[in-house]
Every structure is written in C-alpha cells, then in structure tokens.
C-alpha cells in the first residue's frame, strides 16, 4: 500500500503534450514545488490544471522538506501556502537555496510588501480557484529566465568532460581549445553514444552550411578532433570509424546536471550523510535480500531524488526485480518475468560495463537503448539513472532511478547513490541469506 504522505511528496504528472491548456506555453522541464502543512492543492482544482498542462509537481508538508527538495531537485516554481509563521519560514529557507520564482498564498494584504521585499515574486489570494491560480503561474513563468534549462550541463566520458553551458571541453582536467565546428561534432556524437551515424547525417546536423565536399570536410574535422583528444583511430577511446557508414562515439557517456544550478551557494549534504547512517542502522538485523532492498529503496525515496525507483538482482542471464517504489503497475507487470541482460537496456549495459549510465531524456536514446525507451517513455518518464551494484569486479545487480523531468542527477547525488549501494551490498554479502 502506498503511504498517503509519501504519495503527496512524490506528486505526479500525466504524459500529456508539453503545452498549457490554451497551447500558449510549453511545460517546464522541472516540477512545481507545492508547500503547505495541509495539502491545499488537493481541494482547489489546481492539480487538474497542472496535470492537463502536462506539468509535474512535488509536495512538501514542512519547511525542512521544502528546503531539501529545492536544493536537491531543480524546480521551476515554488508555491507556498499555510499559516503566516510557516510561510515566512519557507520563504527564508527556500529562497536561500534557489532563485526560481516563488509565490506565496495569503489573505493578509498587509504582508504583501514585506513578502516581496523578502524575495517573493508574487502573492496570490489563498482562496483563489485552481485554474485562475495556474493562469498566474503561466504569466510568471513566461517571464522567468529559461536560458539555462533544467537538464544536462555536463557530458562525461572517462577523462573527457564537455560543458554544454560554456561550450567548452576538458581532457584530464586540461581545457581543450575546440573550434565551433569541432565542438558541434563532438557534442553531436557524444549525445548518440554507441550509434553508428552516417556521414551524410553528421554533415547535415553539424554544419550550418553545406560544404562543397561534405565527406572530405568531415574527415578533416574528425582528424583534428582526434588529435586534440589524443585518440588513436586504430584503437579509439572516443571516436571510431564505421566502414561504409560513418562514425560512432564508443565511450560510455554520462549526462550530469549542474550542482550549482539550483543552489547558488552549495548543497547541504547533511541529510544525505544522515540517511547513510539510517540505512546502516536499519540493515543491522536484516537477513533477507528482499528486506534489505526495501530499506535501501525507502532511504532513497525519503531523499527525494527520483519519481520512481527499481532494484534488480542478476542471475547471470536475467535481471530479477527485488523491489520498487512509485513505479506504475504496468511497468511492474512488464518486468515481473525479468529483464534480459541485453545491451539495448541501459540498466543491463550499466551492469555489464560496470559504469553508471545516465541521460536527461529517455526519448532521445531509443537508438542506443531501445529496450529502455520502450519500457519507460510510455509511462511519462524522462531522466534516468542506472547504478551498477558490484564488488571486486563481480556484478550483483543494479539500482535504477527515473524522473518525469529532464534533469539528470548532479555529482553530489551520484556519489551519494554509489555510497548507498556499497553499504547495501556489503551487508547483503555478509549477512543475508542467498
């Protein structure tokens, strides 16, 4: 049974087209955060307007939870209800960790000026109907700064890191001087890893103008880029030639969000460290894999990192579901018989390669991970994160997290999940029955 409070915290959305009801504004890539001791958003029709527009949302019942979600998840808008004391606490704590638009619901006109001075972007009547409230959200978000999206900032491939915001790249920490065409080629290939891309497709997408001899121009740029990456074409680390077709980016690529995009100062990691201690304590007397898995999923769920979680164990040919939280029933039914160790599934690729696999939008990886796209895109999920659970080079299984927004995890969250998996596996191998 799903706990009602947790269901409120996770929120939800329906996989609808990314437009407002009147078709005038695209849905934000990150969820709206609704805050209040009582779930005021359930009674005024607001959720219907949000779902009709294809938006996603999160709910927080107290100030601490609101601050945490706003620091660990990029949100598009924060809307605060509740009594006056709570409103002011939330405004103070949440504004310190995010610069997104902040709206307060209040019937007290005397506090409007002070709220605006404290960093609030708008004050609405608490009793306003949900559709009218949503219309004002639209008006505010139309004027918000969306130049930096809620999605990926960095592309990681071993020692190579590309910064999509600054359009720069580093190799082993040293900046590489790339021309605009070299940068366009590199990012085009990196966003389609393991896919053999025809020469004509690359030329058409990379050049804003059509070279007189497209294939020769491409060959020259590829050779220049390989030299800058110290990439040997005979044993490529990054760019491989595919005879008779074109080129393929052969390294595993992880899409990473920017840790400072949401929090202008830093992310408070104290709750993450506390949850590691919580997991270790809860595992102490656990003797079955299923019970240990339930504790692991519960801790991750409480951290608010994802909209759905799944834990799988490998039997050598198939990945078997150990447990899941907040995943659609249809998905649970689809994986009930197991997921094959087939590289068309990102989870299997992660486990077989021993590397994290992460991307901002499952719909864009159907060429390389067709199985994953087929399983998750239909349920409205976008960002996916798969962590291999292994020890000493031996794969045990994997942990998968999915989001309805197109925002991958940042490096802090990725390190946290790796630590959780290590604690879990250490306990399973030493204390649990097979």
CA distance 273 to 330: 34
- pLDDT beyond 90 at 361: no
pTM above 0.75, yes or no: no
Q: What does the pLDDT look like over 73-129, one tens digit per residue?
A: 778 889 998 888 888 888 888 887 777 888 899 888 888 888 888 888 888 888 888
Q: Do residues 295 and 323 make contact, with C-beta atoms less than 8 angstroms apart?
A: no
Residue 355: is its pLDDT beyond 60?
yes
Residue 293 has pLDDT above 80, yes or no: yes
Rg (CA), the chain: 23
pLDDT at residue 178 in the model: 87
Question: What are the backbone angles phi and psi of residue 82, rounded to the nearest 5°?
Answer: 100, 180
Domains of the chain: 4-142 (3.40.50.720), 154-255 (1.10.10.10), 269-431 (3.30.450.40)
- Residue 259's pLDDT is 61
The yes-or-no verdict on residue 2 having pLDDT over 50 is: no
CA dist., res. 197 & res. 210, Å (int): 18
Burial (CB count within 10 angstroms: exposed 0-12, middle 13-18, buried 19+), residue 208? exposed
pLDDT at 134: 87
Is pLDDT larger for residue 279 or for residue 51? 279
pLDDT at 211 over 90: no
Q: What does the pLDDT read at residue 402?
A: 93
> β-strand 318-325 against 254-256: which pairing, if any?
unpaired
Which of 420, 392, 124 lies closest to 271, judged by CA?
420
Go through 280-295 and write b for each residue having 16 or more CB atoms within 10 A of its CB, e for each that does not: bebbeebeebeebbbb
**pLDDT band at 246; cut points 50, 70, 90:** very high
DSSP class per residue in 281-349: HHHTT--SHHHHHHHHHHHHHHHT--SEEEEEEE-SSEEEEEEEES--HHHHHHTTT-EE--TTSHHHH
Phi, psi of 382 (to 5 degrees): -125, -75
- Give the mean pLDDT of the chain: 82
Least confident stretch, 178-182, 266-270, 274-278: 266-270
Percent of the chain with pLDDT over 70: 87
Q: What is the pLDDT of residues 7-51, one digit of tens each?
A: 223 333 333 333 444 444 555 767 889 998 888 888 888 888 888
| Residues in the chain, overall count | 434
Range with lowest mean pLDDT among 133-142, 295-304, 336-345: 133-142
């Amino acid at each position: 049974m799903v706990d009602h409070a947790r269901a409120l915290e996770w929120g939800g959305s329906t996989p609808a087209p990314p437009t407002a009801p009147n078709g005038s504004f695209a849905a934000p890539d990150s969820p709206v955060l609704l805050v209040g001791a009582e779930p005021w958003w359930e009674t005024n029709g607001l959720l219907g307007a949000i779902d009709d527009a294809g938006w996603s949302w999160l709910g927080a019942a107290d100030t601490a939870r609101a601050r945490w979600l706003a620091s660990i998840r990029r949100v598009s808008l924060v809307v605060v209800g509740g009594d006056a004391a709570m409103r002011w606490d939330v405004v103070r704590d949440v504004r310190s960790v995010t610069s997104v638009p902040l709206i307060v619901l209040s019937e007290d006109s005397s506090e409007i000026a002070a709220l605006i001075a404290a960093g609030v972007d708008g004050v609405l009547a608490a009793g306003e109907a949900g559709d009218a409230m949503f219309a004002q959200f639209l008006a505010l978000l139309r004027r918000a700064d969306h130049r930096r999206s809620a999605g990926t900032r960095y592309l990681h491939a071993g020692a190579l890191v590309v910064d999509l915001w600054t359009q720069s790249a580093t190799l082993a920490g040293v900046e590489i001087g790339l021309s605009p065409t070299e940068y366009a080629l590199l990012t085009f290939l990196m966003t389609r890893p393991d896919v053999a891309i025809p020469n004509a497709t690359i030329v058409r997408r990379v050049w804003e103008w059509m070279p007189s001899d497209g294939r020769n121009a491409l060959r020259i740029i590829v050779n220049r880029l390989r030299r800058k990456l110290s990439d040997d074409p005979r044993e490529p680390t990054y760019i491989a030639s595919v005879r008779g077709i074109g080129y393929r980016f052969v390294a595993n690529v992880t899409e990473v969000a920017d840790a400072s995009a949401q929090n202008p100062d830093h992310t408070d990691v104290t709750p993450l460290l506390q949850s590691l201690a919580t997991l270790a304590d809860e595992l102490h007397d656990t003797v079955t894999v299923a019970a240990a898995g339930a504790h692991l999923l519960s801790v991750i769920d409480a951290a608010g990192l994802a909209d759905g979680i799944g834990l799988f164990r490998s039997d050598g040919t198939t990945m078997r579901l150990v447990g899941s939280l907040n995943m659609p029933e249809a998905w649970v039914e689809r994986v009930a018989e197991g997921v094959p160790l087939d590289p068309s599934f990102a989870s299997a690729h992660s486990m077989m390669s021993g590397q994290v696999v992460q991307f901002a939008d499952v719909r864009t990886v159907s060429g390389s991970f067709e199985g994953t796209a087929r399983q998750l895109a239909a349920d409205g999920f976008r960002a996916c994160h798969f962590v291999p659970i292994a020890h000493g080079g031996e794969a045990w299984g994997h942990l998968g997290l999915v989001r309805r927004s197109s925002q991958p995890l940042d490096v802090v969250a990725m390190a946290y999940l790796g630590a959780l998996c290590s604690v879990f596996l250490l306990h399973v191998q030493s204390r649990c029955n097979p």
